Amino acid sequence: MARDSNQIKLEKLEFECEEIQSKISTLESIVNTFKREIFGSLESDSTTNTKNGL
């Protein structure tokens, strides 16, 4: 009985770990998107400033 209970707990933890890993991947993707947007706009600003002699 105890072994079955432990097996069930293990399976629940494994499932929770998979969910957490999925959420981490989603957050990493969001962060990378923001980085591209922020640094992309900074790069275009600096290019514009250079062209304008600033």
| pLDDT for the residue 47 | 57
Please report which confidence band the pLDDT of residue 20 belongs to, taking 50, 70 and 90 as the band edges. very high
Say what the alpha-carbon torsion angle 18, 22, 27, 28 is, to the nearest 10 degrees.
Answer: 100
Q: What is the DSSP string of 16-51?
A: HHHHHHHHHHHHHHHHHHHHHHHHHHHHHHHHHHHH
Predicted TM-score (pTM) of this structure: 0.62
Q: What's 54's DSSP letter?
A: -
Q: What is the mean pLDDT of residues 22-30?
A: 98
Average pLDDT, the chain: 85
Higher pLDDT, 51 or 11: 11
Please report which confidence band the pLDDT of residue 45 belongs to, taking 50, 70 and 90 as the band edges. low
